């Protein structure tokens, strides 16, 4: 790694005042943070003017890339007209109404109504509360457990962090809450048995899920949360047929399927929603991130007509739905989100993903030939790469050696932003507007970062 340079004024100010999440604080005290000043298209620029190809779309979210004037205009126009209004106490406003209508029109399953929040975590917390609310309304008071998978990521608020299936998010936080039931992570590379086909593996997971449901008691389980492709858990593509079988199993036992489309929603996997790419039907869906191309915070819960009816009947009976946020359906965020969804359509962004995805996946899968890479796979414009100490036995590096994090730092020095995840997996999730030449540049920079990681690992005696 390059020698640390003296910290800039901005870095010093940062370190005196900001708490940094998801960060190796010991390392950052030496290197200082990377302070970003501006962005254009798929590139961001630091305060020294160095460019970085942003291969994570920020945090899996900046779908239209940086500098999209149409969104700036939508925000400015709405700010001038009505910068704030709420939907409590029987009030409403046009941006909220229009966005709810648009989401209903785009949804790949019948949607009754839409509930708005400000982040993926808030929306998923709302989902849990609404699932309990609906179960109680039906007199199914025992249905309190929620199934989520190992390595799932559903957010960081108390309830959503409980569903998140990564130890780091529980340690020292007294989590998870005990309503959480853990199912297996569908990772063929890591957990298929010798000689097992993908289809057989998927069928085994569905059978295991049924055993889990029966052990817990079907009438004690309100819902299961899934992501089409697991994002923060490792950018893990599930085996063929898995989601369809899981959905069928849940239906059999009257357990609702909550589809967390916070990353996969809006074109990421090549169709508008991940559940279309993987062919399953949820009862309820969470969207956020690319909903507004991340230009403003907004998220939504899309409820089936049946759930909508149950929830509204209960709210009528007890005198109101006592759950919402000050900024639910914030008019400026809603106006920007609506404009984002219009741009996806007008520019056929999801078609563009399907057009450039073959090149992205070809370059991604070619990485499997690299001495450090155990698995490299993806779908649409999302990919996961697992670095291993030994390709043949698939042995991981010791977590404490931080090989994945080191590779992300080498990539950063090469002008590429990627995200290191648990088990030395590296995620790629570039803005959906990325062009073919930029995809080439992304992988050229990534390969240079990987080669430097290999040289470093050899020097450290890790391989
Ligand atoms: C699938 C998924 N669900 C929920 C969340 C939480 O969203 P937020 O960070 O907006 O709370 C994330 C964030 O990365 C996510 O990837």
What is the tens place of the pLDDT at every residue in 250-262?
Answer: 999 999 999 999 9
> Distance from the CA of 156 to the center of ligand 1, in angstroms?
8
Distances (CA, A) of 205 to 169, 246, 256, 302, 365: 25, 8, 18, 27, 25
- 127 CB near ligand 1 (under 6 Å): no
Question: What atom in ligand 1 is closest to the CA of residue 152?
Answer: 1
Coil, strand, or helix at residue 52?
A: strand
Cis peptide before 259 (omega within 30 of 0): no
Whether the CB-CB separation of 236 and 230 falls below 8 Å is answered with yes
- 57 CB near ligand 1 (under 6 Å): no
Quote the strand ranges of 104-220, DSSP E. 113-117, 145-149, 180-183
- 239 CB near ligand 1 (under 6 Å): no
Coil, strand, or helix at residue 287?
A: strand
Say what the pLDDT of residue 291 is.
98
Whether the CB-CB separation of 343 and 108 falls below 8 Å is answered with no
Question: What atom in ligand 1 is closest to the CA of residue 155?
Answer: 6
Q: What is the pLDDT of residues 114-145, one digit of tens each?
A: 999 999 999 999 999 999 999 999 999 999 99
- 260 CB near ligand 1 (under 6 Å): yes
User: Which of 120, 157, 258 for a ligand 1 pocket mutation test, highest count of atoms within 8 Å of Cβ?
Assistant: 120
Model-level pTM?
A: 0.97
Question: Packing angle between helix 242-252 and helix 198-216, nearest 10 degrees?
Answer: 20
Q: Provide the token pair at 43.
A: 């590139």
- 155 CB near ligand 1 (under 6 Å): yes
The CA-to-CA distance between both ends of the chain, in Å, stands at: 17
Q: Provide the token pair at 130.
A: 């609404």
Say what the pLDDT of residue 155 is.
98
Distances (CA, A) of 225 to 153, 184, 214, 311, 382: 10, 12, 18, 19, 20
Ranges in the chain, pLDDT < 70: 1-4
> Distance from the CA of 184 to the center of ligand 1, in angstroms?
20
Is 10 buried (19+), middle (13-18) or exposed (0-12) by CB count in 10 A? middle
> Distance from the CA of 89 to the center of ligand 1, in angstroms?
29
């Amino acid at each position: 790694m390059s020698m640390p340079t003296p910290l800039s004024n901005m870095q010093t100010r940062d370190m005196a005042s900001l708490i940094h999440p998801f960060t190796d604080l010991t390392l950052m005290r030496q290197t200082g943070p990377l302070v970003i000043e501006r962005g254009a298209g798929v590139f961001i620029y630091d305060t020294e003017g160095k460019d970085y190809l942003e291969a994570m779309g920020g945090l899996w979210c900046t779908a239209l890339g940086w500098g999209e004037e149409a969104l700036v205009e939508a925000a400015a126009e709405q700010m001038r007209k009505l910068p704030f209004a709420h939907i409590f106490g029987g009030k409403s406003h046009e941006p909220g109404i229009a966005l709810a209508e648009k989401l209903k029109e785009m949804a790949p399953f019948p949607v009754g109504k839409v509930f708005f929040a400000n982040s993926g975590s808030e929306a998923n917390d709302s989902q849990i509360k609404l699932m309990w609310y609906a179960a109680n309304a039906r007199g199914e008071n025992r249905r309190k457990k929620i199934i989520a998978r190992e390595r799932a990521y559903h957010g960081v608020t108390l309830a959503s962090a409980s569903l998140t299936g990564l130890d780091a998010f529980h340690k020292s936080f007294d989590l998870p809450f005990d309503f959480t039931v853990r199912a297996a992570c569908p990772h063929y590379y890591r957990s298929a048995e010798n000689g097992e086909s993908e289809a057989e593996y998927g069928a085994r997971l569905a059978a295991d899920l049924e055993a889990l449901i029966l052990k817990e008691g079907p009438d004690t389980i309100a819902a299961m949360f899934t992501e089409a492709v697991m994002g923060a858990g490792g950018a893990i593509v599930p085996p063929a047929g898995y989601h369809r079988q899981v959905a069928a199993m849940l239906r059999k036992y009257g357990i609702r399927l909550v589809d967390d489309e916070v990353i996969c929603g809006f074109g990421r996997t090549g169709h508008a929603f991940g559940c279309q790419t993987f062919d399953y039907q949820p009862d309820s869906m969470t969207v956020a991130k690319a909903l507004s191309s991340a230009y403003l915070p907004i998220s939504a819960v899309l409820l089936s007509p049946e759930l909508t009816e149950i929830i509204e009947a209960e709210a009528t009976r007890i005198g109101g739905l006592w759950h919402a946020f000050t900024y639910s359906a914030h008019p400026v965020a809603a106006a920007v989100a609506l404009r984002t969804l219009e741009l996806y359509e007008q520019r056929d962004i999801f078609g563009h993903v399907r057009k450039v995805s073959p090149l992205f996946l070809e370059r991604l899968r070619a990485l499997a030939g690299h001495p450090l890479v155990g698995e490299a796979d993806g779908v649409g414009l999302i990919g996961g790469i697992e670095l291993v100490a030994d390709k043949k036995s698939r042995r991981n590096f010791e977590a404490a050696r931080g090989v994945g994090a080191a590779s992300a730092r080498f990539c950063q020095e090469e002008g590429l932003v990627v995200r290191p995840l648990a088990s030395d997996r590296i995620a790629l999730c570039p803005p959906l507007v990325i062009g073919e030449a930029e995809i080439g540049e992304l992988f050229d920079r990534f390969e240079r970062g990987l080669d430097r990681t290999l040289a470093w690992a050899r020097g450290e005696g890790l391989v």
